[in-house]
Structures are given as structure tokens and as C-alpha cells.
Structure 1
Amino acid sequence: MDFLTNTTHLHITTWVVGIVIFFIAALNGKQSKGLHMVLRLFYILIIISGGALFIHTMGYGQGMLYGFKFIAGILVIGMMEMVLVRQKKNKPTGMFWGLFAVFLFVTLFLGFKLPMNINFLA
């Protein structure tokens, strides 16, 4: 399972593809069951790769911050699912879009701040 924790590329690829699929599904006029199922597959891939990285990062001495990032990431996935399900049921989604944005910002901020990040400036 070293390929999961060797670099963060697999995890970053899965959440970028997941977010793109989410926006396609959310902004699409009609609900596509197949697209929603593909997105759920990416939820699982994101959680597996993130969980492996979470276990790997315990050696960095900042387990609590990585734990907060893990919880915020799970909340992002939860808000993505809530937006799509509530859209399908024709219920208001404004609050869940806002929570999605807040949790995504927290997750990205912690992900790029913590030691196992990708340094874009170097």
C-alpha cells in the first residue's frame, strides 16, 4: 500500500476529479443517476487515499491538525452529497452550498499549510 502514501498525487487527483464531477452533476439541469454513482465511487477513493495519508502523517507530530483536515474533508463530501440529494428532491440547497464552500476552504487551507503539502512557490 506504499503507492497510497508515497506522494499526495493520487489523493489530489481523486479530489480534483471528484469536485469537477460534483460541479457537473450539480449544475446539470437534470439529475443523472450514473454520474451520481461515479461521484460516489470517487468519494470512496478520496476517503481511502486520504485515510492512508492520514495514517502515514502521524509521524509529522501534528496529528490533531491532520485529524481536523480529515473531518473537514468528510464534511465536504457530506455537503456535496446533501446538495445533490436535495436538488433531486427539489428542496432548497443554499445552506449546503455555503457549508460546502466553508468546509472546502478549511480543508484546502489545512492541506496546503500542513507539512505534507505541495510547495507551489519552490
Structure 2
Amino acid sequence: MNTHLHVTAWVLAFILFFVTLVLHKQGKDKAAKIVQMILRLDYLIILISGGLLIKNYFNGSPMMVEAIIKGLAGIWVIAAMEMTLGKTKDGDSATAGWIQLVIAFAITIALGFFRLPGGFM
């Protein structure tokens, strides 16, 4: 159950992230701020459900270290999303945020879906 909540919250987060980006690009700052606040509430769901998933590995599992790294990479994704939105809002270059977002997202997906139990493999 937690896995479905976690994945659904991430999908919603990326949708809200891109909606916020578009609204900033269109100059609709008030609407962008509202959507970004909803996105930040979604981050709480992600962090809680992710924490509950990681808790399952604290029983001496050999995958515990990978689960912790995945959790840290997930927090990095959230930070990169916030940095990208902030830079875009200010009209600055968001290249560093995008690069970090892609790297952190790749690590998170690789560990979450292909290494840790409960993923595709």
C-alpha cells in the first residue's frame, strides 16, 4: 500500500512541478505560487510514505544501505526541483538545477525500481 501511495505522490509531484514551471514562464506568479504550495504539501506525503518504506529495511536487510541511499537521492530530487523552480521564478539560469534533478532522479529510479525489492526486477 505504501509503495502505491509513494509512486502516486511522485507522479503528482512531477505534474505539479511542470505546471508550476509553465505558470512561471507565462508570468502567472500568483497561480504558480498556489500550485507550488500544493506541491510542497505533496512533498510531505512523499517524505512520510518514503520514510515508511525505508523503515522496512531496518531489520538487518542487506539492502538497507541501498534503501538509505535511495531515500537521500529522493530528498535530493525534491531539493533540485525546488532549486529549479526558484531559479526559474527569479529569471536566472536553472541549468544546475536541471542537471542535479536528472542525476538524482536517475539514481532514485535505478535503486527504487531495479535494485530494491518491490520494483520491476
What range describes the TM-score normalised by the shorter chain of this pair?
0.7 to 0.9
Shift of 1:23: 1.2
Count of matched residue positions in the alignment of Structure 1 and Structure 2: 115
After TM superposition, list the pairs within 5 Å mapping 1:9-20 onto structure 2: 9-20=4-15
Instruction: Tell me how far apart the structure 2 counterparts of residues 66 and 115 of structure 1 sit (CA, whole Å).
Output: 7
Q: Give the aligned partner of residue 100 of structure 1.
A: 101
- Unaligned 5+ runs, structure 2: none
Query: 2:102 is matched by which residue type in structure 1?
Result: A
Shift of 1:7: 4.4
Q: Percent identity between the aligned chains?
A: 32
- The alignment partner of 2:116 has SS state of coil
Instruction: Spell out, residue by residue over 1:87-119, the C-alpha distance to the aligned partner (whole angstroms, 9 max, x if none).
Output: 111111011111101110110010012333233
- Unaligned 5+ runs, structure 1: 1-5
The answer on whether the counterparts of 1:57 and 1:116 sit within 8 Å (CA) in structure 2 is: no
Instruction: State the TM-score, normalized to the length of structure 2.
Output: 0.87
Q: Give the aligned partner of residue 62 of structure 1.
A: 63
Instruction: Tell me how far apart the structure 2 counterparts of residues 89 and 63 of structure 1 sit (CA, whole Å).
Output: 39
